[in-house]
């Protein structure tokens, strides 16, 4: 019984460190990305559009795992700011291909430099072996979480 308590305390400490890291990382990255002039939700969308040239609004929503309406709101703001353009699809006028503008590309490039610099700082003092071990451990944690998600989906399916 005493051993369970010790494991529970260590588990809680580890989870607390992971959550603290995620929250700090998000806050710091947002601070850096504010320099680009694009808000967080718009920024994520802009990065996806950059990775998926000429994708439709529907495609982008599916890739980002959000509703088409959510994409539409941010897309409208990015279009107004001249970061992206919508062009009717030649095969289907109901669809728009989303393309990134030169202004949008400059934000993407600046963002990539910010991410690279932040990554270097986050892993300062880590050896390649330490990073490799951490990656293995985090993959195990994520696999456990994926299993928990599957259990929840299965349970909801029965209700």
- Same domain, yes or no: 42 and 7: yes
**Predicted structure pTM score:** 0.74
- Same domain, yes or no: 76 and 142: no
Please report, for the domain that includes residue 69, its CATH number: 1.10.10.10
- Same domain, yes or no: 76 and 95: yes
- Same domain, yes or no: 33 and 92: yes
- Same domain, yes or no: 58 and 81: yes
- Same domain, yes or no: 102 and 157: no
pLDDT of residue 145: 95
Q: Considering the chain, what percentage of its residues have pLDDT values greater than 70?
A: 92
- Same domain, yes or no: 52 and 117: yes
Average pLDDT rounded to a whole number, residues 25-30: 93
- Same domain, yes or no: 99 and 42: yes
Q: Is the pLDDT of residue 2 over 60?
A: no
Q: Which residue has the higher pLDDT, 9 or 81?
A: 81
- Same domain, yes or no: 151 and 102: no
pLDDT of residue 88: 75
Q: Give the chain's domain count.
A: 2
Structural contact between residues 30 and 43, judged by C-beta atoms closer than 8 angstroms: no
Handedness of CA 40, 42, 43, 49 (dihedral sign): positive
| 3-state SS, one letter per residue, for the chain | CHHHHHHHHHHHHHHHHHHHHHHHHHHHHHHHHHHHCCCHHHHHHHHHHHHCCCCEHHHHHHHHCCCHHHHHHHHHHHHHCCCEEEEECCCCCCCEEEEECHHHHHHHHHHHHHHHHHHHHHCCCCCHHHHHHHHHHHHHHHHHHHHHHHHHHHHHHHC
Per-residue pLDDT reduced to its tens digit, 117-139: 999 999 999 999 999 999 999 99
| Structural domain boundaries enclosing 154 | 128-159
- Same domain, yes or no: 66 and 7: yes
Per-residue pLDDT reduced to its tens digit, 69-85: 888 889 999 999 999 99
Q: Is the pLDDT of residue 37 over 90?
A: no
pLDDT of residue 93: 64
pLDDT of residue 91: 73
- Same domain, yes or no: 83 and 135: no
- Same domain, yes or no: 105 and 158: no
Residue 49's Cβ-count burial label (10 Å; 0-12, 13-18, 19+) is: buried
The pLDDT confidence band at residue 156, using thresholds 50, 70 and 90, is confident
pLDDT of residue 114: 93
pLDDT of residue 94: 67
């Amino acid at each position: 019984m005493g051993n369970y308590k010790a494991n529970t305390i260590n588990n809680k400490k580890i989870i607390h460190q992971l959550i603290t890291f995620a929250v700090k990382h998000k806050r710091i990255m947002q601070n850096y990305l504010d320099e680009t002039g694009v808000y967080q939700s718009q920024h994520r969308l802009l990065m996806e559009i950059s990775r998926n040239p000429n994708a439709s609004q529907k495609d982008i929503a599916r890739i980002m795992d959000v509703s088409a309406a959510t994409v539409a709101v941010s897309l409208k703001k990015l279009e107004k700011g001249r970061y992206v353009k919508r062009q009717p699809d030649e095969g289907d006028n109901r669809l728009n291909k989303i393309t990134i503008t030169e202004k949008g590309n400059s934000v993407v490039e600046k963002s990539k430099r910010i991410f690279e610099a932040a990554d270097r700082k986050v892993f300062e003092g880590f050896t390649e072996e330490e990073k490799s071990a951490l990656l293995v451990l985090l993959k195990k944690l994520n696999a456990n979480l994926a299993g928990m998600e599957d259990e929840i989906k299965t349970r909801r399916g029965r209700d």
